[in-house]
């Protein structure tokens, strides 16, 4: 989208307290018609592999992508809890669309932590509806804590070279945020480059069995010119970035659970065929079927409640009234999200599987695509192994060890080393 295009942020007819349920309901009322429109052809899009460019455009036009821009830059920001609850609702409509915005919202958080000149440049672009993608992970060959993608000086400027995989959302974006290394510079940097720049190629070649429409795939950067003002240091330990990034995935999972509950309820309510081994009555009146759906609903409720609780911990971590120092803020957010990462995936995976326990074999029809809920949930849940998070949480409670946020993926070394601060 052009930088001259402006998007009106959400407004309210009457003043409502920040963080209140009334404010959330007003936000939800604004965006639910868009979510409902996105849901209409979600199954057909997955079946036919139609990337949701149009649907992303609807969210841009509605101002959804501007939700965390600070008021001093023209935004009408929502707190973390409300953002993540909205993402749950969006994921229930189409989990692919909610997932592909993960990098966008994460970069908006990153902008807020940069010097004023950077904020003055980039927040107006967010308000104009521009979207940011991500290119961080490499398929192999890079040592843990490093990247094979490099920034180098050339003719008085900077150029970017490398290849990335799992570049979720970038094919829909205006800008891609590329993690790179620079010779002689400690740590890693972000290079922010236009998706349409010379030397940038993005492929939709993700072949996973779930989340097929997130635009995940390969991005190639071949001598891409980068403005020096668009290179920023990556400072993991002083931000909530790892927790925020992972909590988006958990919100997507909770939304998938909500969609599975919706489909299970609709199937049972409409079903007229039954089995002689059951009550002989309609499924919707059968006590055992009602119990199954009730249990499924309870799992989904628990998953959503955990996501909302973790989001409130992110809000507390950055609340000036709570006045946490940098390490305490990181800990408040990180430990909450790590606990959520252990808790939410099994709840949603169980719910997605239980969907098939409340109907007959007809539910397995490829035309209904009800298996997409489990496939999508299983795919999202693989992004960060829960076993590592459970160990980390246990180590914290037993030994007081500060947890490590996920900030690097690469080849293992023979001698384990601390990559927390890399």
| pTM more than 0.85 | yes
Residue spans per domain, the chain:
21-131, 137-234, 240-399
In CATH, the number for domain 137-234 is 2.40.110.10
Instruction: Report d(CA 27, CA 13) in Å as an integer.
Output: 11
Query: How many residues does this entry show for the chain?
Result: 422
3 state DSSP class of 158: strand
**Residue 244 near residue 111 (C-beta atoms within 8 A):** no
> pLDDT for 22-48, tens place per residue?
999 999 999 999 999 999 999 999 999
Residues 6+ apart with CB under 8 A from 143: 410, 411, 413
3 state DSSP class of 418: coil
**Residue 382 near residue 147 (C-beta atoms within 8 A):** no
Task: State residue 12's pLDDT score.
Answer: 52
Task: State residue 420's pLDDT score.
Answer: 46
**Residue 38 near residue 52 (C-beta atoms within 8 A):** yes
Instruction: Report d(CA 320, CA 266) in Å as an integer.
Output: 45
> pLDDT for 209-263, tens place per residue?
999 999 999 999 999 999 999 999 876 555 788 899 999 999 999 999 999 999 9
In CATH, the number for domain 240-399 is 1.20.140.10
- Quick one: pLDDT band at residue 412, thresholds 50, 70, 90? low
Instruction: Report d(CA 402, CA 395) in Å as an integer.
Output: 8
- Whether 137-234 shares its CATH topology with 240-399 is answered no
Task: State residue 238's pLDDT score.
Answer: 52
User: Among the listed ranges 33-37, 136-140, 312-316, which one has the minimum average pLDDT value?
Assistant: 136-140
Of the candidates 319, 79, 71, 49, the residue with the CA atom closest to the CA atom of residue 211: 49
The rounded percent of the chain whose pLDDT value lies above 70 is: 89
> For the chain, what is the largest distance between any 2 Cα atoms, rounded to a whole number of angstroms?
80
With 80 as the cut, is the pLDDT of residue 53 above it? yes
Topology at the third CATH level for domain 21-131: Butyryl-Coa Dehydrogenase, subunit A; domain 1 (1.10.540)
């Amino acid at each position: 989208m052009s930088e001259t295009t402006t998007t009106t942020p959400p407004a309210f007819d009457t003043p409502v307290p920040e963080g209140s349920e009334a404010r959330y309901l007003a936000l939800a009322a604004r965006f639910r018609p868009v979510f409902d429109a996105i849901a209409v052809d979600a199954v057909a899009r997955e079946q036919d592999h139609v990337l949701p460019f149009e649907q992303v455009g609807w969210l841009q036009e509605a101002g959804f992508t501007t939700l965390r821009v600070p008021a001093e830059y023209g935004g009408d920001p929502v707190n973390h809890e409300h953002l993540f609850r909205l993402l749950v609702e969006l994921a229930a409509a189409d989990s692919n669309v909610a997932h592909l915005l993960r990098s966008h919202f994460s970069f908006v958080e990153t902008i807020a932590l940069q010097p004023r000149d950077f904020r003055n440049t980039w927040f107006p672009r967010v308000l104009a509806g521009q979207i940011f993608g991500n290119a961080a992970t490499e398929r192999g060959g890079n040592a843990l804590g490093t990247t094979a993608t490099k920034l180098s000086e050339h003719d008085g400027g900077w150029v970017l070279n490398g290849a990335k995989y799992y570049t979720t959302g970038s094919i829909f974006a205006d800008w891609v945020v590329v993690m790179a290394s620079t010779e002689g510079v400690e740590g890693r940097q972000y290079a922010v480059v236009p998706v349409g720049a010379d030397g940038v190629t993005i492929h939709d070649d993700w072949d996973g069995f779930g989340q097929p429409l997130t635009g995940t795939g390969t991005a190639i950067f071949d001598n891409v010119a980068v403005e020096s003002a668009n290179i920023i240091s990556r400072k993991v330990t002083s931000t909530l970035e790892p927790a925020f990034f992972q909590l988006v995935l958990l919100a997507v999972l909770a939304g998938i659970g909500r969609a599975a509950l919706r489909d299970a309820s609709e199937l049972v309510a409409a079903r007229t065929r039954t089995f002689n081994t059951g009550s002989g009555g309609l499924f919707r009146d059968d006590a055992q079927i009602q119990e199954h759906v009730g249990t499924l609903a309870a799992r989904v409720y628990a998953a959503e409640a955990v996501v909302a609780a973790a989001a409130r911990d992110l809000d507390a971590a950055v609340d000036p009234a709570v006045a946490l120092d940098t390490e305490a803020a990181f800990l408040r957010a990180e430990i909450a999200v790590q606990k959520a990462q252990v808790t939410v995936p099994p709840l949603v995976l169980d719910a997605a599987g239980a969907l098939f326990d409340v109907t007959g074999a007809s539910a397995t029809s490829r035309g209904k695509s009800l298996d997409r809920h489990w496939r999508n949930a299983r795919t999202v849940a693989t992004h960060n192994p829960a076993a590592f998070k459970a160990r980390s949480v246990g180590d914290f409670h037993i030994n007081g060890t500060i947890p490590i946020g996920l900030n690097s993926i690469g080849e293992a070394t023979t001698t384990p080393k601390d990559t927390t601060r890399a």
